[in-house]
Structure 1
Amino acid sequence: MTKTTAVLFLDVEGGWGGSSRSLYYLVKYLARDNLLPIVVLRKDGPVKEHYKKLGITCLIAPEMASFRPADRKNFVAFTLYLWSMRKYFSFRKKIKMLVKEYNIGLIHVNHESLSLTGSLVAWELGLPWVAHVRTLLTPGWFAKLVYKIIANYSSHTIFITEPNLNHFKSLVGSSFNMIKTSIIYNITPESFKDSALQEMEGSENKFRVLSLTNFAPSRGVDRIIDIATELKNRGESDFLFYLYGKSSHSSVITGRPDKYFENLKQRVKTLGLTSNVFFMGHTIYPEKALAGCDVLLKLTRQSNPWGRDIMEALAAGVPIITLGKFTEFVENGVNGYINADYNVDDIVDELVKLSNSKELCSIISNANRQKARALFNGEDCSQEVRHIYSKVIKDQN
């Protein structure tokens, strides 16, 4: 970009989730070179203050309706989305004012849950938009609807990994224009020098296992209870499990929490694991949680070993044990352990192996930091995004 370009970023999470955190690091780098970022958050949250410290304009727009197809009750969720669109004109008014004030040339829709609303406001204002696909939507009619809107109407689509692109293609088909797609990995912090969270201090003589994911069946947090149980059965008492996250399933009508989380807590009590397994709630400081642990454990049923938790563990030099077949981030036996299938005994063996060897943990830690520097470099990744913006705006003009 040879002159300053204003880009409007639409963020659904406000700093409460991985996509929002990833956007923050992207914007942080983009703002360094001929780009004026304007960020609109659907939710007020901790990231607002981070943008403020960078001198980046950041506004809250709760009228920005979102819809993300999930495992169930999508018809009800979509109906509620349509109901929330009654506030769309108020949202469009805010965006129109920003476009006029800052001469915005492009809209970056940071999550597929905002693609319906983002595509509409971009079309009405005559602006190109870039979609950022960050998750694997559960296959179904609504997922195809969201993906096809992205495929047919976005000026360019960014995928965070190769599996995200392949999943998208499997639902949309081969008719969409691959030239308008890019795979760009998320950016991690340049360095980790944080101290552990206060609630994790004093446990240095134990082997501390960390989970940084919300509580839902698809996230597989219940499997961690299986692991803790098997360790107890083997007489391994030096393991502590810190489970950070919140219940991500709730009734879309009543707002009441799903029973999954409550059942997990009850199961821990029943199995006598309350002195080893701790439910810590949500943290806005995942880097501090990583600083206080010895290994990150991610046993997702979605086979997606590439989330924000994985990336930041790599950058922090924390060994990782996870599941899946995508080995670009975690290579088995090199910088952690990745299992194609879930097997309690194998995972417990890997945990015990790590806990018994500080040397092995150190080797993996160094390999992780090297991997993060190579894959998640802020200058390189943001430069790719700049090129996309330049081409999209040039084509639009």
Structure 2
Amino acid sequence: MRRILPRPLPHALSLLALSALIVGCGGAKEDTPTPPPPVQPGPLAVGFTSPVAANNVHDVASAIPLQVNVTINGNPAPNGTPVSLTTNSISASLAPTVPTTLGGAATSVLNSNVIGPVVVNATVTSTTHSANESLKLYIRPVRKPLELLVPAYFSAAKDSPWTTLVSGAKSYPDVKITAIMNPNGGVLTSTTTANTDLATAMASLKTANGKVVAYVSTLYGNGARSEADIKATIDKYLELYPTLDGFFIDEMASGSNRLAHYQAIYTYIKGKPRDPGVPALVVIGNPGIYPDQAYADATDALTTFEGTAAAFQALDPQQSSNTWVYSLANTSQAMLVHSASTCTAMQDSLKHANKARTNTGLVFTTDETSVRTVTKLPAYWIQLLGTVDAMNKGGTLPAC
């Protein structure tokens, strides 16, 4: 008897129908996104790799790129590992707040609209471990262009360095120059007549958009020069040179025990009447080091460094716990550098001043061995002007 085998076709059709039904129910969609892998158990390590520690000062309202590296068991974390970022400031924002890793690194951008310190925290957790790291940044006012503060203690006679000073100001009109005049060693109580050469030089510099402040000796507020004597010198300066733009208060103390003395001088100068439309008199103090923070309220600018070019390269406000300078505009700090014997040394000093971490906007270097006895402009005067101009404009520095 012949056996009749069952047909396979209906069964195959049934399987096809069942497959279609499964697909129709969404059981085999190919475009379903793959969820990020869970953080694997194991020892975690997290650390900021950008910005680096030396670059922890930034302008307000600027975008600050952040990068956080994550390792698990010493190896880069799997792609997609989430990193939670937070800050201690309600005025700072992060985008994104929970970046995920790629090649072991997660990136975000910080922006702060308020001047002051900001701490960013990064946290990574797994089923067995947790790790976190903090980064402290300082937000400063937006950088202003560098300006020159020139100790013009030399003669103002015909063809003197004042002539070169004025000529340079005309050649670089975009570089602001403030000259410090010093006709009598900072004491004018017994002087009755103006130095006509100096008055002429002052007028020429001001015509070239420069400014002139007068040197005042204070002998560190130790009582050797009384407050009354200092005020008398200020009055005499304004009597003899009425177009002055302000005063350079030299030999300024730095401790809080002398603060009241300098606050009184500052208030006295600021109280001097000015014609309508004429800016108030400027007060630049020179302790030559970082003083007590309150001195910033007794001046418009502080000379926080006076010394050699070599020593200036080591200057770091953070190493001396003077981060309060980041609350001030860079033009609220000055440096007077001597013994910058070459053009290259001058440019290195200006580069250091221009760093956000140094935050110094009033600058001067000389190839002489002291700024207290300056007798001439440095041999690289034109390159000094050109260097400031190029730094302000983001151009190529002049050749040395």
- Shared fold per TM-score greater than 0.5: no
User: Which has the higher Rg, Structure 1 or Structure 2?
Assistant: 2
Structure with bigger helix share is 1
Which structure is richer in relative contact order (CA contacts within 8 A, separation 6 or more)? 1
TM-score using structure 1 length: 0.28
